[in-house]
Amino acid sequence: MRFGAVETETDIRTGLQTLFELHGKRWNGRGAEGVFRNPAKRRFYERFTPLFLERDWLAFDFLELNGRAVACQICFRYHGTQFLLQEGFDPEFASESVGIALRAMVLKKAIEQGVRHYDFLAGVGRHKTQWQTRMKHCHTISFGPRTIQNTLYLRVPILMDALRERVKMLLPAKVLEMRRRLAAS
């Protein structure tokens, strides 16, 4: 077993390819594609990682078994906090909990390097809550030039939410429950 990290710009290309593959394997096993199926997402990671490495913000770690990468995690560090961006693991090694093992090693390394906080960022899942995490509440602020497109982009979701709430108030609970059951089947 080997715990390693991307430490040079030369390592980035291999590291990203491993991340894309492991992340994709995990999602393919669930019948989904994963975010790296999108070429724009891949290009974004290819562009920012060298810049973050240069500024010493990149934390990109791997766990290898017998010379084969089985788990990886890419984070960035800023002002004493390490932020999780993406991770992946080989589902073939799920029973060995390679993702959990890697996270434990990443946390140990972060503590040794003076990181004070580890932020899982968005979402809640067992892979986050098993570490006794604390939920943060965030707000999204969107802004842009006043155009018809932007107005629709910003206001339609708000109007849809308001419409759903009014429908809930007007329709009897039995009708809503029947709709939920039909949607679930």
Residue 158 makes CB contacts below 8 A (sequence gap 6+) with none
Banded model confidence at residue 120, pLDDT cuts 50, 70, 90: confident
**So where are the chain's domains?**
2-129, 148-184
Q: What is the 8-class DSSP label of residue 96? A: G
Quote the mean pLDDT of the chain: 86
CA angle 80, 84, 85 (to 5 degrees): 125
pLDDT in tens, 167-185: 777 777 777 677 777 877 7
pLDDT in tens, 17-69: 999 999 998 888 777 788 889 999 999 999 999 999 999 999 999 999 999 99
Q: Are 115 and 79 in contact (CB under 8 A)?
A: no
Token pair recorded at residue 173? 């609970």
Amino acid making up residue 88: G
Q: How many residues does the chain have?
A: 185
Compute the distance between CA of residue 169 and CA of residue 126 in angstroms, rounded to an integer: 34
> DSSP H helical segments within the chain, as ranges?
9-28, 39-54, 98-112, 126-129, 148-170, 173-184
pLDDT over 80 (residue 127):
no
pLDDT at 131: 54
Compute the distance between CA of residue 149 and CA of residue 11 in angstroms, rounded to an integer: 42
Of 46-55, 75-84, 119-128, the range with the lowest mean pLDDT is 119-128
pLDDT in tens, 84-93: 999 999 999 8
Nearest 10 degrees: CA dihedral of 97, 101, 106, 112? 160
- In CATH, what class is 2-129? alpha beta
Q: Are 120 and 84 in contact (CB under 8 A)?
A: yes
pLDDT over 90 (residue 71):
yes
Compute the distance between CA of residue 110 and CA of residue 114 in angstroms, rounded to an integer: 6
Q: What is the 8-class DSSP label of residue 55? A: T
Of 7-11, 45-49, 71-75, 130-134, the range with the lowest mean pLDDT is 130-134
pLDDT at 175: 74
Share of the chain above pLDDT 70, in %: 89
